[in-house]
Amino acid sequence: MKTNAIALWDRLRGTIRSRIGGWRVGTDVVIHGRGLLNELLGDTSYFQLLMLNITGRLPERRLADWVEGTFMCLSWPDARIWCNQIATYAGTLRTTPTAAVSAGLLASESRLYGPGTVLSATHFIVDALKSEQAGIAASKIIENYRHQYKTRAIPGFGRPVARGDERVVAMKRLAERLQFEIGPHLLLANSIEAELLKEAGESMNLAGYIMAFLSDLNYTAEEIHALYSVCVEAGLLACYRDARQAPPDAFMPMRIEDVNYSGPPPRPWNNQQ
């Protein structure tokens, strides 16, 4: 195995290879066989370009517009949201926008919210559809998942803070306006939601809706994960700019007495020991 790796490295030594494309100096930039400056620019939206870069497939404009809508639903100017707090602290400390966004993006990679939910939610709905096609009902799919992973939580359903998801309502409205049909993954997600609503009042969250929707369009979990890796950027920048224009160190200042200390009691310090 080691010998094979060295042979591969020797073959690649001194050369950068790309299956995507690159800059043709002085003429154009090629992205998956398409010219950026002479073909795409002016006729293609930024989200179409983003999806082309990630997947190698240029989506139709209405799908790119739908994805852009989900980004709008995923990034809010609210400093109470954990990743936005990071960007707000960066602003109050007078860092650069790049540093603020980078730190906030890292904080967004959580299993409870943000891009960190993509893989689990996508894998769940894809596997669930295979189970349904094998004749397993939605209620049994839920039961089997809980038994296998020893958890009550179902990826793509429920929210940490609130019940219901107003963003799903808005995105379904947009999908209808753009004339998208409901595919098998999303149809099953609706059935699972109906079961969870009966059981505990828990509905599909935006991550569950997005993953089912894009799975119906043959996007893989890895492609969706890459696509949504920077989905909270707008909210990060909003919170950073808000703090940057306020006085320094003005975000959530604390006094010592604000800290509720519950450790060992004070003890004398002997500097001879």
Residue-wise pLDDT for 145-174, tens only, equals 999 999 999 999 998 777 889 999 999 999
The domain segmentation of the chain, as residue ranges, is: 20-59, 60-249
Give 162-217 pLDDT, tens digit per residue: 788 999 999 999 999 999 999 999 999 999 999 999 998 999 999 999 999 999 99
Q: What's the pLDDT at 113?
A: 79
Looking at residue 1, its pLDDT comes to 53
Q: Report pLDDT for 272.
A: 61
pLDDT, position 2: 64
Q: What pLDDT score does 3 carry?
A: 72
Dist. CA 43–CA 68, nearest whole Å:
17
Which three-class secondary structure state does DSSP give residue 204? strand
DSSP track, 103-122: HHHHHH--SSSGGGGHHHHH
Reported in sequence order, the residue ranges of the chain that DSSP labels E, i.e. its strands, are 21-24, 28-31, 34-35
Ranges under pLDDT 50 in the chain: none
